Amino acid sequence: MAADPKAQKVVVVGAGPVGSLAALYAAQRGHDVEIYELRSDLRDPSTTPLNFTKSINLALSERGINAMRNAGDPTLLDHVMAATIPMRGRMIHGRRPNGDFFEQPQDYDIHGRTIYAVDRGELNKRLLDILERMPNVTFHFNHKLSGADFRKCRAWFEVQGKENPATATGRAKEIEVGFDLMIGADGAHSAVRYHMMKYVRMDYHQEYIDTLWCEFQIQPNEDVPSEQPMSRFRISPNHLHIWPGKEFMFIAIPSDDGSFTCTLFAPSLVFERLEVTPEQIPAFFDHHFPGVTSLIDPPELISQFRQNPHLPLISVKCKPYHYGSSAVILGDAAHAMVPFYGQGMNAGLEDVRILFGILDKYKRGDEGEASSASGLAADRRKCALAEYSAVRVADAHAINDLALQNYVEMRASVLSPLYRLRKFLEEA
Ligand code: FAD
């Protein structure tokens, strides 16, 4: 196949869900795509998952699905959706004044439309599978971005781990890479963003909220054979389960083996207390999250709390998202948000669709003109990236704010009679 004179070299930093989808969009447009990822290949069983947790189950919604639908690969969506479970609403768990437990379903949509539970690692792997088939994509795992010059379009990566027998000086081996466009999808602590700040007057705000999270597992019903995963769930598989605790919250999201991945969200002080007195964890759960100790045995609850990491939640806002014609940041790198609106990854995937929609619009004006080397392509890309920042910043900041507000909704408002009345009137 003859090389396309308009093909650009696109370097994607970060092979998480957003970087992988961005690489696919770029590859579909015929660009030479190089993906650089700090960690080893997720599909290698010895790779330590992100955040050192076994998995994170996410809520995938139309915003993210639509971005994958428009990726130009008709197999992608089926491949990803095959590993999802539809969730038609929330299931609120609580205790009545007489002490009985209750479950109250709250559908998301009167027409029965759903969001979907998906394992983030599984979704990521499926995106990598699709990318692997593309001749114009190369992977560079164990490569950490260590520097970038966005005027000269050069970047430096440290080669990590086994692939880098330490040099005689003891310093990690570094390689230099050129590019036309760098897409930074390297997460909340983005190195691309950090280096971009030296070139652009970027406004930047980060905030750690005073809430930590810890993951738990509800195991499948072992009495049911594993060949029937949908019968192994111990609570409804088609709901996002919430135990609202006013100041804290416990949630459970189904996995396709019949288990649930659960998350405790609570103020750091509560974590500190439970770390000192772990024997009080079952009583804490019985008081605030009724019914959970019948799904996770108390000794198991204590052990999971002690073994699994207690992780912070960061919210990042910045602007603009680009520099000139050579760099743009997407996903958590641009707008990490607290997870309570279930939109962090979805919004990141949407970034990709919007960015390439704008690049395509400017490229159309480029038809029949000279190749990217003339500078014309770079000029058009510069306008496209500026438009991307202009349209995306306000939307991303809004989702960021909504995510923070939804914490109050999920952990407390869902229980209030006023909330239920408002919902009833909306649906009447
Ligand atoms: P990441 O997933 O962080 O990937 C970044 C990648 O870049 C990583 O692979 C990393 O190794 C790599 N990298 C980092 N630094 C470098 C470097 N210097 N050089 C090279 N590579 C580098 N979102 C939802 O949409 N729905 C949900 O229900 C939801 N629930 C969540 C629950 C929790 C508890 C948490 C913590 C988050 C949740 N999110 C949810 C948010 C979601 O996980 C993130 O928004 C999403 O993972 C962001 O994807 P990303 O590709 O932008 O970044």
Q: What is the pLDDT of residue 407?
A: 79
How close is the Cα of 222 to the center of ligand 1, in Å?
A: 32
Sign, CA dihedral 256-61-402-186, equals positive
Q: What is the pLDDT of residue 271?
A: 97
Q: What is the pLDDT of residue 168?
A: 56
pLDDT confidence band for 372 (50 / 70 / 90): very low
Q: Residue 293 pLDDT > 90, yes or no? A: yes
**Phi-psi domain of 368 (left: phi exceeds 0; alpha: psi -120 through 50; beta: other):** left
* Between 362 and 428, residue with greater pLDDT: 362
pLDDT confidence band for 411 (50 / 70 / 90): low
How close is the Cα of 171 to the center of ligand 1, in Å?
A: 28
**Phi-psi domain of 321 (left: phi exceeds 0; alpha: psi -120 through 50; beta: other):** alpha
CB count within 10 Å of CB 171 equals: 10
| Nearest atom (ligand 1) to Cα of 15 | 9
pLDDT confidence band for 413 (50 / 70 / 90): low
What lines the ligand 1 site, CB under 6 Å? 13-19, 36-39, 50, 56, 58-59, 120, 144-145, 185-187, 191, 213, 263, 331-332, 339, 342-346, 348
d(CA 208, CA 124): 26
Q: Which of 37-51, 73-87, 395-409 has the lowest mean pLDDT?
A: 37-51
Tell me what the pLDDT averaged over the chain comes to.
Answer: 90
Q: Amino acid identity of 314?
A: I
Q: What is the pLDDT of residue 4?
A: 59
Q: What is the pLDDT of residue 420?
A: 58
Rg (CA), the chain: 23
d(CA 234, CA 72): 38
Q: Residue 141 pLDDT > 70, yes or no? A: yes
321-342 pLDDT, tens digit per residue, is 999 999 999 999 999 999 999 9
Kindly state the average pLDDT of the residues 295-309: 97
CB count within 10 Å of CB 405 equals: 13
Kindly state the average pLDDT of the residues 236-261: 93
Kindly state the average pLDDT of the residues 273-289: 96
Contact by Cβ (8 Å): 310, 216? no
Residues of the chain with pLDDT > 70: what percent? 87
Does this complex have an ipTM over 0.95? yes
